[in-house]
Amino acid sequence: MAEIDHCCSTQLIDGEGEFNVVGLDNFIRTTKLTNCGLSYAVLAIMGPQSSGKSTLLNHLFQTNFREMDAFRGRSQTTKGIWIANCVGIDPFTVAMDLEGTDGRERGEDDTTFEKQSALFALAIADIVLINMWCHDIGREQAANKPLLKTVFQVMMRLFSPRKTTLLFVVRDKTKTPLEYLEPILSEDIQKIWNAVSKPESHKDTPLSEFFNVEVTALSSFEEKEDLFKEQVAQLRQRFFNSISPGGLAGDRQGVVPAAGFSFSAQQIWRVIKENKDLDLPAHKVMVATVRCEEIANEKLHHLSSNEDWLALEEAVQCGPVSGFGRRLSSILETYFSGYDIETFYFDHGVRNAKRKQLESKSLDFVHPAYLNLLGHFRFKALEDFKSRLEQMLNIGEGFAASICTSTESCMLEFDQGYADAAIKQANWDASKVKEKLCRDINAHALSVQDAKLSELVVSYEKQLGQSLSEPVESLFDNAGRDTWASIRKLLTRETGIAVSEFSAAISSFELDQSTVEKMLQDLKDYARNVVEKKAREEAGKVLIRMKDRFSAVFSHDNDSMPRVWTGKEDIKTITKGARTASLSLLSVMVAIRLDGKPGEIENILFSSLMEGTVTAVSSVDRSITTSDPLASSSWEEVMVSPKSILITPVQCKSLWRQFKAETEYTVTQAISAQEAYKQSNNWLPPPWAIVAMVVLGFNEFMLLLRNPLYLMGLFVVYLLSKVMWVQMDIPGQFQHGTLAGQISISSRFLPTIMNLLRRLAEEAQGHQTDEPPRQQCSLVFQS
């Protein structure tokens, strides 16, 4: 009970409508409400008499509002409006308990205070609990529909709109799931809102801008008390942080500071008491409202089943329909005119309001067919645009001109269809559909433009690739001092031709200058990349090209004729020239020089590799001295961009070492061929052989003058000896042309030669034989 005493329950307005100013001030002072600033909330509860409103508040917020005594029968318990502090709720929350509606004490006709109190609650509270029995859902009076309708209408005229949360509390929930009850309540409250006559400023304002509608359900307090208390405890949690974002009153507006709460409440009640519009509407207005609504609903039902309309709707599903607007306007006018005739004698204001509702609902009903028709017009216009654009481009029309002409034609076609579909009862706006058509046309035009430009770019890139790749490769084949100058000249010429032709080709697209410049620059960059890519490919084959260059220069004379090593050639000079030519090729391939910047690469390579100025590795610290410009992985002292380097200094050094090793054999072969040529052209035997023959064969030589056969044999012996000392070799012992080799060969065959000479001498001294001279000669040669 200690906590309940803190609720400070106070009657704010008595049953006669008198405002309790002293009691409110005492409540504010006792609860220290003025210290809350804007951090407080106000909630109210309304509903039928004896529906358990006070009981619900007491269980929810630990208040002590007076509850009905069931043993004394159902009678009025709460008179007027009472307020109390919600104990244990953060933020500070004021609860208002309103007198029940539809009570027998006030009677059937005295409902003014009910309207006033309900309007006061909606005007001052952030959250309004509408207490109702579950079995009353769908009813008119028991569900407080007339009360809410009147209060909504007057509230909008009297007070500035403020966001209020309407929390429908369904009591004594039955087996019917809440999911089925909630849509019915939401529909009822929406109907009440739609039926309210609104000022022009809020004519089209939706309910959601004024109210948040939520629904909850509780079990019977008498039959299922434990379950009821459990559900109430869960509901209580929703009132904590109610004014925070996402809370029950998180989006409230126009909050009065706590210090001005008393004055604000007094002024609101005074305005409500003085307002005559809170009286019950006239009987004829009520009758007119009900009957006009029935007639309007009947006309709308007949429209939905009209055969002409159904046929028109079915036709629209398949495609564009000619005369749609005229035919639909005639159908609608039939039902609108019928409504006017049947409601002629009813209240003018109600009749016109219901007619506007009929027009709105009818137009909403046929609007989807109208949008479907516009969709057909949009699709057809877009397809026609695509077809016209393709035709114009095929006959050679400029791209921008084709786009403009095709767009104008298709938009005119759409406007004609839109005009034919318009109905006189509505002023429907087709701007969104037209904007969609424009976006689709622009998107297709842009895609075609991108495709055409891509084709042109690919075509000219292919042209540049063909005009640059092979010529650049050819220039690298014959690389020399002017190679990069020739490549730059070739690149400039071919790029200029391609850029000029490409610029003329894209002129019909009417692109902005920045786009054109970017595309032209991209084409120039592509041409440069072709050259750079080819240079990198050729740099990878530089060793092969160096060997080919060396072979070409070393093995051919100045007239490009193959060299014959006769012994007169200066092999050393020729070798140096061939290596110089190969090194020159290497210097060309070291870096990309499209910017024309001078470089010292060639001089560095020649001084380091050809002239032998490279410092050897130190035997002490095994480190390469700084005087070796090739002992580095970058050309730091050369004016070449790092990205342009193809072969680093240390790679050049390694390539040159490998090149010399692989070309050394060619030089050795040339020297051997030169020596062999000299030996083959020497007709005299070695001097020692001449002395041996003179000493050992003096007698035989004297017979030479007397015996021609001997002379012939001597000649044969000479030839044999010549062949032996020039062409014979003993593997693993001697080389051709050396003195030791000649002595070795001659010493092996010298006895044979001397035997032949002796045989010839014996024949010449008179050994007689019966064989003819020819046979004698044959025997000699056989020997």
Residues of the chain short of pLDDT 70, as ranges, are 1-5, 68-77, 102-111, 138-144, 146-147, 150-151, 153-161, 254, 256-257, 259-260, 276-287, 345-346, 597-599, 611-627, 633-634, 636-641, 681-690, 693-783
* Biggest distance spanned by C-alpha atoms of the chain: 187
Tell me how far apart the alpha carbons of residues 173 and 218 are, in angstroms, rounded to a whole number.
Answer: 6
Residue 102's pLDDT is 59
Residue 205's pLDDT is 82
Residue 322's pLDDT is 86
Kindly state the tokens that stand for 743: 């002595």
Residue 148's pLDDT is 73
Residue 270's pLDDT is 81
Q: Is-contact 703 761, C-beta < 8 A? A: yes
Which DSSP helix (H) or strand (E) runs through 588? helix 571-589
Per-residue pLDDT tens for 402-450?
889 888 888 888 888 888 888 888 888 888 888 888 999 989 988 988 8
DSSP string, 66-92: ----GGG-S-----SEEEEE-TT-SSE
HSE, side-chain direction, 13 A CA sphere, residue 397: 16
Contacts of 517 (CB under 8 A, 6+ apart): none
- Give, as one character, the DSSP assignment of residue 556: B
Distances (CA, A) of 40 to 31, 166, 237: 12, 18, 16
β-sheet with 40-46: strand ranges across:
10-13, 81-85, 92-98, 40-46, 127-133, 164-171, 211-217
Residue 227's pLDDT is 92
Q: Which residue's entry shows tokens 């070449």?
A: 640
Cis peptide before 91 (omega within 30 of 0): yes
Kindly state the tokens that stand for 49: 């008499």
Residue 54 marked as a ligand binder: yes
Please give the CATH architecture assigned to the domain spanning 9-276: 3-Layer(aba) Sandwich (3.40)
State the average pLDDT for the chain.
78
Q: Amino acid identity, residue 566?
A: T
Residue 53 marked as a ligand binder: yes
Residue 47 marked as a ligand binder: yes
Residue 49 marked as a ligand binder: yes
Residue 35's pLDDT is 84
DSSP 3-state of 428: coil
Per-residue pLDDT tens for 715-728?
666 666 555 544 44
Kindly state the tokens that stand for 282: 């006239």
Residue 560 marked as a ligand binder: no
Q: Helix 399-421 vs helix 348-394: angle between axes, to the nearest 10 degrees?
A: 150
Task: Give the total residue count for the chain.
Answer: 783
Contacts of 115 (CB under 8 A, 6+ apart): 147, 150, 151, 278
Residue 7's pLDDT is 83
Calculated CA dihedral for residues 756, 762, 767, 769, nearest 10 degrees: 10
The residue ranges of every structural domain in the chain are 9-276, 290-428, 454-474+483-528, 543-678, 689-782
Which DSSP helix (H) or strand (E) runs through 11? strand 10-13
Residue 454 marked as a ligand binder: no
Residue 11's pLDDT is 92
Residue 579's pLDDT is 87
**Burial of 222 (C-beta count, 10 Å sphere; 0-12/13-18/19+):** exposed
DSSP 3-state of 335: helix
Q: Is-contact 425 329, C-beta < 8 A? A: yes
State whether the Cα torsion 335-341-343-344 is positive or negative: positive
Q: What are phi and psi of 232, to 5 degrees?
A: -65, -40
Kindly state the tokens that stand for 391: 């035709």
